[in-house]
Amino acid sequence: MAHKFEIWKDKKGEFRVRFKYNSEVIFSTEGYSSKASAKNAISSILKNGPNAEIEDNS
């Protein structure tokens, strides 16, 4: 699978989410104190992302 979400723990012990495409990190989230919060972030991205507005500031 080329696209995937990855939950990882940073040096501060916070959980973060990375979105990868072909092993390249496209974006990562802020730190969360629990893995459940990181999973909720993924759910929110999946739910709200497809309808997100595109802002072109070029």
Q: Is the pLDDT of residue 16 over 90?
A: yes
What's this model's pTM, rounded to 2 decimal places?
0.82
Give the separation between CA 55 and CA 32, rounded to whole angstroms.
27
Give the separation between CA 19 and CA 57, rounded to whole angstroms.
23
Give the separation between CA 23 and CA 9, rounded to whole angstroms.
18
Give the separation between CA 57 and CA 48, rounded to whole angstroms.
21
Tokens encoding 32: 């969360």
Per-residue pLDDT band at 5 (split at 50, 70, 90): very high
Give pLDDT tens digits for 35-51: 999 999 999 999 998 88
Per-residue pLDDT band at 2 (split at 50, 70, 90): confident
Quickly tell me which residue has 């497809």 as its tokens. Answer: 50
